[in-house]
Structures are given as C-alpha cells and as structure tokens.
Amino acid sequence: MSPTASKSDTPLQVIDNATCTFCGCVCDDIQLHHDEMRIHKAKKACVLGSAWFLNHTAEKKYPSALIDGKEATVDEAIEEAARLLHEADMPLVYGMSNTTCEAQKECAALADSLGGLLDSHTSL
C-alpha cells in the first residue's frame, strides 16, 4: 500500500503547500491528504495543526441553521438575523478571528451600515 492510499484503497488527493490557520504562525507548507470527506493526513503540521485539520470533515454534522433552538433554513436564518440587527439601536459585531479577510471586510460593512459597534479579539 502506498503512503497516499487510504484503507479503502482509493488513492487520496494531495494538496501541497496548504495553509494552516490554527495559530498566528499561519504555516503555508502543509501537505494535506484527503478524500473530499475528511483530511487523513496533514504532513509537516504540528500537533495543534494536525488536530485542526483532522477534526474537521465535510459531513453535515450540525443543522444548517437554528432559530430559537429550532432547525431552520439558511434563508430564514439570514432574514431573521437581518431583522434582529436592523431593529437594534446599538448592535455589536464581534469576533472575526477564525474567519477569512474577505468575511472580515463584509463584517466591517455590516457594522457601518447598522451604525453599530465593531470589535475583535484584540481588545480582550
């Protein structure tokens, strides 16, 4: 069995120089071996990075969205989120650590259009 073969003998796909976003090092030399459902191996990654890559799968583990604890569609949840944020006088947009710069830019636009607050983990 070659090192890139999985237990079911279907060869794994390999991604070279993948980027790990677990810690601030953002290592960009990771080799990922995956079968589109889960990542089986993260070569060069450290203990923390391996755990980060191997613990995420493409399975549908959670409902797409929850409104008041009940399952809902993404469309309904987006409408409800927009309604709640628009109704608020002083909404807070917070976090933005475990997300991409593209999403962060949208968050800045969100806080701007709401006339609200914008803050990240840095302020802790």
Partner 1 sequence: MGGKVTCTLGEVKQRADFIIYWGGNPAECHPRHFSKYTLMQKSKFLPKGRKDRTMVLVDIRETKSVKASDIFLQVRPGKDFELITILRALVKEQQVTDEQIEETGLSREALNDLVSRMKAAKFGCMFFGMGLSMTRGKHMNSAALLTLAAEMNAFTKFVAMPMRGHGNVTGADVIMRWQTGFPFGISFNRGYPRYNPGEFSTIDVLVRGDCDAAFIIGADPGGTMPQPAINHLKRIPTIVLDPHITHTSKLARVHITTAAQGIAAPGTAYRMDEIPMPLKPALKSPYPSDEEVVRRINEAIAKKPFWLPEGSMPQMVTEQV
Cα–Cα distance for residue pair 62/72, rounded to 1 Å = 12
| 43 is an interface residue for partner 1 by CB under 8 A | no
Helix (H) or strand (E) holding 14: strand 13-18
Site for partner 1 in 84-123 (CB under 8 A): 84-123
Does residue 85 contact residue 117 with C-beta atoms inside 8 Å? no
- Cβ closer to partner 1: 4 or 99? 99
Amino acid, single-letter form, for residue 31: Q
Interface with partner 1 (CB under 8 A), residue from 5, 11, 17, 51? 17
| 1 is an interface residue for partner 1 by CB under 8 A | no
| 9 is an interface residue for partner 1 by CB under 8 A | no
**x-or-dash string of contact with partner 1, 45-84, rule CB under 8 A:** -xxxx--xx--xxxxx-xxxxxxx-----x--xxxxxx-x
Instruction: Give the rounded distance of the alpha carbon of 11 from its chain centre.
Output: 26
